Structure 1
Amino acid sequence: MQQTMASALFKNFLGHSPVWYKLAIIAFLAINPIIFSIDPYTAGWILILEFIFTLAMALKCYPLQPGGLLALEAIAIGMTTPDLVLHEIQENIEVILLLVFMVAGIYFLKKLLLLSFTKLITKIKSKTILSLAFCVSCAFLSAFLDALTVIAVIISVAVGFYSIYHKVASGKSFHETEHNHGEDEHFESLTRTELEDFRAFLRSLMMHAGVGTALGGVMTMVGEPQNLIIAAKASWGFSEFAIRMAPVTIPVFFAGIITCVAVEKMGILGYGAKLPAAVHQILSDYDRHEDKKRNNRDRAMLIAQALIAVWLVIGLATHMASVGLIGLSIIILATSFCGVTEEHALGKAFEEALPFTALLCVFFAIVAVIIEQKLFLPVIDWVLSFEGKMQLVMFYIANGLLSMVSDNVFVGSVYITEVKAALNAGQITRDQFDLLAVSINTGTNLPSVATPNGQAAFLFLLTSALAPLIRLSYGRMVLMALPYTIVLSLVGLAATWYLLPDMTQMLYDMELISHHVPGSEAETSGHH
């Protein structure tokens, strides 16, 4: 009976995760208190490595559970305190509100976004131009929305296309299987080559879209969760954040666009696959079918969503309220004018973001350990020992390398917290802090496209229902991201060295941005 119960407990622990992974987490939990009792500093670093391991192994088990267990144990054995964790969460409440309300708000604008992307894919014949359109539109949307939300919409579009194809391949009409995501045995009426070409086509589009979210996400304070953390620490509003990032983000954006065209033209690493003619016909027929059955109520809903999207852009650009509260206004307006009034219908909108919101709170617990144990102090002191441009470059490289293997939100929040502490301690000037904040933001956002670990949007794509349908594995994502990783990282590095200090000075001279004086109203309110 004891053995049976122990076996059942072990099977329940972390569910379907591999046995070796479960044993690794158990081993971590067993050794941490022992090491902490001997050497707290070493125990802190081991905890960070263990947490990064759970992020890297996200496909084996969502990091909230194993990472959360490590964080709970850290609090229990005294590596940090619940009060400090709560303080870190309160410091970053805007980020949490962004994830809770903004991502849910965009869910109610999905019909408009789905229609837009369907028109793109059916009207544009050239694969290169289509790839460019997906990359640029995702960049634009991510600059004003949230990269996670944008990729969620693109996944919905791709799953929709795949299911439409499946319906016709199965000999069914468009309305018969609205949500059927079939597998190979349902495709008897179409060739294996056609199916593989369609999968390759969708894979390349999804990768271009994912990179697009990174290109746009780095530009504004709402593009990625860590951007908002950095903006809050630096007391920057929406416009100032975008202007300060521009010396790095604008050259990187154009480099990304050139890379998009180049990989499609050369047809390397899985790019260049074209949409089979038969599949294009199916999707075009479906689009016409949807247009015909659209009634006045549907059109009124689309018009309402378009007007709400305009308000969203204006609200964010003018910084009328905190990002999360603007997201809440989107939920209220979109549900009111689109007829969504049942509680269970509202609940679906929050499903995408809440697991990541919970994971973010676990991040803050690990950040609290880093602060309590002063783990990053030697690293920060070493990087701060460099001066001028070299200091900016070292921060960019340090953030970039860590973001490739870990999560960029975690890395960005840790580094900006430590650099803000250095500013408060008088180790750096306010102007140098502003430059370092740009370096940290671009360092966490650009090289992190290398792996799905680095960007939440990439991880979301990899763990979605779409990935197995189009045969998008971890290894294939890393390989397809490689050209973008090399180009974006190097162009970002070059811009940090050659353009950032001089162009920032030029922005000061043109009075597009102004110097923040520590302790002043500008410093505390975020206005200038």
Structure 2
Amino acid sequence: MTITIRSALMKNFLGDSPDWYKWVIISFLLLNPLVFFLVSPFVAGWLLVVQFIFTLAMALKCYPLQPGGLLAIEATLIGMTSPAHIGEEIANNLEVLLLLIFMVAGIYFMKQLLLFLFTKLLLSIRSKMLLSLAFCGAAAFLSAFLDALTVIAVVISVGTGFYAIYYNVVAKQADNNSQIADDSLIDNPEHQQIMEQFRSFLRSLLMHAGIGTALGGVMTMVGEPQNLIIAKNAGWGFVEFFLHMTPVTLPVFVCGLLVCLLVERFRLFDYGTKLPEPVREVLKEFDRKASAKRNRQDKVKLVIQALVGVWLVVALAFHLAEVGLIGLSVIILVTSFCGVTDEHDIGKAFQEALPFTALLTVFFTVVAIIIEQQLFSPVIQFVLQAPPSTQISLFYLFNGLLSSVSDNVFVGTVYINEARAALEQGLISLKQFEMLAVAINTGTNLPSVATPNGQAAFLFLLTSSLAPLLRISYGRMVWMALPYTLVLTLVGLLCVHYALVPVTEWLTQWNWISPPSLNVISSVTAH
């Protein structure tokens, strides 16, 4: 059947995305120049921001790089910003790009160790409450030093592996993971019931781990990409960033763990399912066979990766080099001592990070547009007219609301730039700027667990091959995240409003953190 050129173009445009989505993006591209030239650049700028957030919210229909990139290119062409300004934003945030490129790739080569640890964790703890707490806590600890996407990728790999092991046993087939989505091969009603229980068990562990990446990721400057941007603007190192966030993040972390225990204890929000005993026996037998096959060379690799992990933590804690360079050192050390020398094997490590790195570069283009068109000035002026203590709470709430429907990296970048601009104009004090930086960081990281749009780790889980196996849908993720969303958001708000200022003053008094003038002035001068 012959198709017209128009039909061929539409089929190629944005690939397998729904036709309605394609037409929406086309209408955006047609509308923006008309609004920019005939109505107002300010209105056109806000329209573009809304459109870009729409592409983030519709990430399951099409990865936002393509539609968001088209909008950014068009906006640059019609004069909303300039290539030079975009280059400046990228240069100012080069550390973030290096973090994504090298740190994620570096942790890729440590997956063997991480998989080993999570496997032992699951099989050694029989109590579901303690196991859930361990998964949430382990994911939080790892995300504080590593990348949340990498941590959730490891958990997904573990979940997929365990699911495939039991499936192949009950389906009576060899190790063939290509058919694990075919439920028709499980014809025993008892096995079907156990499989449903196993799915619910794994689903809850994955959600706990996903929340854990948010609880840990908010604490340090390397936990999330926007953290590094905020730290750079405030002039904070690794330890100082951690201490500044502690008045909010520590109570939130404790309350998050309490929520984990409560939802498991009372079987709320689809939590509480235990690991079926037949599944445990199958997994234990598989682990015994895998341990027997592990030779001395494999064991040495695990030791090497553990030692490099210690180096990673120490290097980050003492800020021995830029974060991206530390990630590069991890790549060099692990590959050198674990026998990875093939160019193609090394190249695979960068596949996870580069798409998001490209998307983040588009973020910076939109940020340049926001700055040039002064889009957030009215909002910032409204917030800055409030009393200083109220300003902090409003920044937290505005960041949280927007992050829950779009992307926290985008929101965090925009707001910290606006806060820095207010500082440079003398609208806020140095001390207030640091408080706002804490509010922005916690606001973008905590309420954003509400939806997969806000947390990249959640979106990664939702779009993974494991999601359909475990019956993980968008709505189910929102439902299971709801108790965490309510508690983390409320506790974070209370800490920002009541605890942040007095605790920070106490830390400064005892020389745990430097006075604002020593940090922020140098940062502002650099910009």
Contact between 1:235 and 1:522, CA under 8 Å: does it hold in 2?
yes
Contact between 1:235 and 1:525, CA under 8 Å: does it hold in 2?
no
Matches within 5 A, 1:151-166: 151-166=152-167
Shift of 1:3: 6.3
Shift of 1:516: 3.2
Q: Note the residue ranges of structure 2 that are not aligned, 5 or more in a row.
A: none
Give me the whole-angstrom Cα distance separating, in 1, the residues matched to 2:267 and 2:363.
39
Alignment deviations for residues 459-488 of structure 1 (CA, whole Å, 9 cap, x no partner): 111111111111101110000000000000
C-alpha spacing 1:447/1:116, structure 2 compared with 1 (3 Å) = same
**What residue is the counterpart of 1:291 in the other structure?**
291
Tell me, yes or no, if structure 1 residue 379 matches structure 2 residue 372: no
The code of the aligned residue for 1:108 comes to F
Contact between 1:516 and 1:522, CA under 8 Å: does it hold in 2?
no
Give me the whole-angstrom Cα distance separating, in 2, the residues matched to 1:150 and 1:519.
31
Shift of 1:281: 1.0
Alignment deviations for residues 349-377 of structure 1 (CA, whole Å, 9 cap, x no partner): 11111111110001001001101100001
Shift of 1:428: 0.7
The code of the aligned residue for 2:182 comes to E
Partner SS, residue 61 of structure 2: coil
Partner SS, residue 42 of structure 1: helix
The code of the aligned residue for 1:513 comes to I
Shift of 1:182: 3.8
**What residue is the counterpart of 2:186 in the other structure?**
187
**What residue is the counterpart of 2:116 in the other structure?**
115
Contact between 2:101 and 2:354, CA under 8 Å: does it hold in 1?
yes
**What residue is the counterpart of 1:475 in the other structure?**
475
Give me the whole-angstrom Cα distance separating, in 2, the residues matched to 1:298 and 1:161.
21
**What residue is the counterpart of 1:245 in the other structure?**
245
Give me the whole-angstrom Cα distance separating, in 1, the residues matched to 2:339 and 2:177.
21
371-380 vs 180-189, which deviates more?
A: 180-189
**What residue is the counterpart of 2:71 in the other structure?**
70
Shift of 1:108: 0.4
Tell me, yes or no, if structure 1 residue 81 matches structure 2 residue 82: yes
1-10 vs 443-452, which deviates more?
A: 1-10
Shift of 1:276: 1.2
79-88 vs 131-140, which deviates more?
A: 79-88
Partner SS, residue 125 of structure 1: coil
Contact between 1:255 and 1:488, CA under 8 Å: does it hold in 2?
yes
Tell me, yes or no, if structure 1 residue 368 matches structure 2 residue 368: yes
Partner SS, residue 191 of structure 1: helix
Shift of 1:348: 1.1
Give me the whole-angstrom Cα distance separating, in 1, the residues matched to 2:177 and 2:286.
12
Shift of 1:518: 6.8
Shift of 1:10: 0.2
**What residue is the counterpart of 2:266 in the other structure?**
266
**What residue is the counterpart of 1:275 in the other structure?**
275
**What residue is the counterpart of 2:446 in the other structure?**
446
**What residue is the counterpart of 1:493 in the other structure?**
493
Give me the whole-angstrom Cα distance separating, in 2, the residues matched to 1:356 and 1:52.
15
Give me the whole-angstrom Cα distance separating, in 2, the residues matched to 1:241 and 1:284.
42
Partner SS, residue 375 of structure 2: coil
Partner SS, residue 4 of structure 2: helix
Give me the whole-angstrom Cα distance separating, in 2, the residues matched to 1:319 and 1:306.
20
C-alpha spacing 1:236/1:298, structure 2 compared with 1 (3 Å) = same
Give me the whole-angstrom Cα distance separating, in 2, the residues matched to 1:425 and 1:181.
60
Give me the whole-angstrom Cα distance separating, in 2, the residues matched to 1:156 and 1:520.
41
Alignment deviations for residues 150-177 of structure 1 (CA, whole Å, 9 cap, x no partner): 111111111111111222123245xx43
Shift of 1:387: 1.7
Give me the whole-angstrom Cα distance separating, in 1, the residues matched to 2:28 and 2:154.
37
**What residue is the counterpart of 1:320 in the other structure?**
320
**What residue is the counterpart of 1:101 in the other structure?**
102
Contact between 2:236 and 2:519, CA under 8 Å: does it hold in 1?
no
**What residue is the counterpart of 2:357 in the other structure?**
357
Contact between 1:517 and 1:523, CA under 8 Å: does it hold in 2?
no
Contact between 2:170 and 2:191, CA under 8 Å: does it hold in 1?
no
Partner SS, residue 352 of structure 2: coil
The code of the aligned residue for 1:319 comes to H
**What residue is the counterpart of 2:335 in the other structure?**
335
The root-mean-square deviation of aligned C-alpha atoms, in Å, is 1.6
Give me the whole-angstrom Cα distance separating, in 2, the residues matched to 1:116 and 1:172.
28
Give me the whole-angstrom Cα distance separating, in 1, the residues matched to 2:319 and 2:519.
22
The code of the aligned residue for 2:443 comes to G
Alignment deviations for residues 428-465 of structure 1 (CA, whole Å, 9 cap, x no partner): 11111000000000000000000000011111111111
Partner SS, residue 517 of structure 2: coil
Contact between 1:159 and 1:181, CA under 8 Å: does it hold in 2?
no
Give me the whole-angstrom Cα distance separating, in 2, the residues matched to 1:498 and 1:350.
43
Contact between 2:430 and 2:520, CA under 8 Å: does it hold in 1?
no
Alignment deviations for residues 121-172 of structure 1 (CA, whole Å, 9 cap, x no partner): 1111111110000000000000111111111111111111111122212324
Contact between 1:316 and 1:326, CA under 8 Å: does it hold in 2?
yes
Give me the whole-angstrom Cα distance separating, in 2, the residues matched to 1:368 and 1:413.
11
**What residue is the counterpart of 2:139 in the other structure?**
138
The code of the aligned residue for 1:146 comes to D
Contact between 1:166 and 1:182, CA under 8 Å: does it hold in 2?
no
**What residue is the counterpart of 2:437 in the other structure?**
437
Give me the whole-angstrom Cα distance separating, in 2, the residues matched to 1:386 and 1:149.
40
Give me the whole-angstrom Cα distance separating, in 1, the residues matched to 2:518 and 2:259.
41
Shift of 1:347: 1.2
Partner SS, residue 171 of structure 1: coil
Q: TM-score, normalised by structure 2?
A: 0.97
Contact between 2:447 and 2:489, CA under 8 Å: does it hold in 1?
yes
Give me the whole-angstrom Cα distance separating, in 2, the residues matched to 1:119 and 1:102.
25
Contact between 1:248 and 1:500, CA under 8 Å: does it hold in 2?
yes
**What residue is the counterpart of 1:54 in the other structure?**
55
Shift of 1:277: 1.1
The code of the aligned residue for 1:61 comes to C
Partner SS, residue 516 of structure 2: coil
Give me the whole-angstrom Cα distance separating, in 2, the residues matched to 1:233 and 1:519.
9
Contact between 1:183 and 1:469, CA under 8 Å: does it hold in 2?
no
Give me the whole-angstrom Cα distance separating, in 1, the residues matched to 2:264 and 2:484.
12
Contact between 2:219 and 2:249, CA under 8 Å: does it hold in 1?
yes
Give me the whole-angstrom Cα distance separating, in 2, the residues matched to 1:119 and 1:327.
26
Give me the whole-angstrom Cα distance separating, in 1, the residues matched to 2:414 and 2:383.
14
Contact between 1:446 and 1:492, CA under 8 Å: does it hold in 2?
yes
Give me the whole-angstrom Cα distance separating, in 2, the residues matched to 1:472 and 1:520.
44
Q: TM-score, normalised by structure 1?
A: 0.97
The code of the aligned residue for 1:158 comes to G
In the alignment of these two chains, the number of paired residues is 524
**What residue is the counterpart of 1:216 in the other structure?**
216
Give me the whole-angstrom Cα distance separating, in 2, the residues matched to 1:47 and 1:312.
40
Partner SS, residue 432 of structure 1: helix
Contact between 1:163 and 1:180, CA under 8 Å: does it hold in 2?
no
Partner SS, residue 350 of structure 1: coil
The code of the aligned residue for 1:74 comes to A
The code of the aligned residue for 2:186 comes to F
Matches within 5 A, 1:350-429: 350-429=350-429
Shift of 1:522: 5.4
Identical aligned residues as a percent:
61
Partner SS, residue 453 of structure 2: coil
